[in-house]
Structure 1
Amino acid sequence: MQTYQLHFHPDFPPRAITRVEAQIIGFDDHLVRIRWRVDGSGSLVVPPYSGRGRQDELWRTTCFELFLRPEGGQEYVEINLSPSGRWAAYQFSGYRDGMSNRPASREPEIGLREGSTFAIFDAAIPRDVLPQLPAAMAITAILEEEGGTKSYWAMVHPQAKPDFHDPACFAATLAAPQGS
């Protein structure tokens, strides 16, 4: 599968993080599996495990996100995933408009592994949370480091301020898995 290099927004540089990449590591009729790798993660703030379940405003600290917009449409889905075990999924009718909770048949599976100089965040998202495919895709991350430094990572940053909802951020495509 393809690896996507994420770039920090120039107005919000990281303190110690040197690289972030993401990869779709598996996709079948039941789950899409995505992995983020964060290099230079020694000062990464990892929210403590707080149990599984939905939670809003996960973006206020370290959070990994996936945005998907079906081809030819204005509607899109935002999925937020936290190392705390919490997650959120939203449906939008247009750019930052008409937000509602997106249903899920089950909760995403979330896990974080930390090495001495890197962290790996894995998520397995139920297929029914995804919109119709193929879909334009944005893979993003908000990374908080000790001391309150926050950096905003995306494949593309089209605005003067970080805005992952901007249509230009949807810089890749997620196709249905072969055989579906």
Structure 2
Amino acid sequence: MSPLVLHPSCAPGPARAITATISPTPSGCEAVFRLTGEIGAIVVPPSKPCERRDNLWQTTCFEIFWQPLDGAAYREFNLSPSGQWAAYDFDAFRQGMRDAAVGAIALACSHDGEALVLTASIASDLPRPARIALNAVVEIADGTKQFWALAFPEGQPEFHAEANRTLLVN
């Protein structure tokens, strides 16, 4: 599991640590996100039907950015503890956004007072080799948000920045 870091502009809060792992599969990838802390003080979206939904990043959500090494285009996945998901393709940095073709996404989420674990199985055409970013938005009960990533560029939190894509997958 790779540790995510809290963006320097975010105050510490009930989320104490987040780790994530991703593994390519013949049909796409599998990922696991583990958030530890005071789960009762974090907004955890209630369970809903597993379906595509926009704007999941506005509350607690986990994200994967997948970019082939040979180009500027990339795919973004938003994975909600609710079971809902989104997938978008971009031609370049925040350009040409459109829904991505996805075969299927299966999400499982469990949590207790100290840990929340989201497991994702994604069937999608994901070219390799690729650079990967693993990120999280954590909404605290008071409405503030924390931003977590493997790495951040200078300045405000920007999950679309190539600087976040520090994992290499062959």
* TM-score, normalising length: structure 2: 0.94
Residues 8-27 of structure 1: pairs in structure 2 closer than 5 A = 8-24=6-22, 26-27=23-24
Kept after mapping to 2: 8 A contact 1:15/1:149: no
Residues 57-96 of structure 1: pairs in structure 2 closer than 5 A = 57-96=55-94
Three-state SS of the structure 2 residue aligned to 1:59 is: helix
Corresponding residue of 2:143: 148
Q: Alpha carbons of 1:125 and 1:41: their partners in 2 closer, same or farther (altered >3 Å)?
A: farther
1:112 matched to 2:109? The reply is yes
The separation in 2 between residues aligned to 1:153 and 1:85, in whole angstroms, is 20
1:151-180 Cα deviation digits (max 9, x unpaired)? 0000111131110111111111122xxxxx
Pairwise CA RMSD: 1.3
Question: What letter matches 1:170 in structure 2?
Answer: R
Q: Which runs of 4+ in 1 moved over 2 A?
A: none
Kept after mapping to 2: 8 A contact 1:55/1:87: yes
The aligned length equals 169
Corresponding residue of 1:49: 47
Q: Give the fraction of aligned pairs with identical amino acids, expressed as a percent.
A: 35
1:62-111 Cα deviation digits (max 9, x unpaired)? 010000110121000001111111111111000000111111122x1111
- Unmatched segments (≥5 aa) in structure 2: none
Kept after mapping to 2: 8 A contact 1:14/1:149: no
- Unmatched segments (≥5 aa) in structure 1: 176-180
Question: What letter matches 1:158 in structure 2?
Answer: P
Question: What letter matches 1:93 in structure 2?
Answer: D
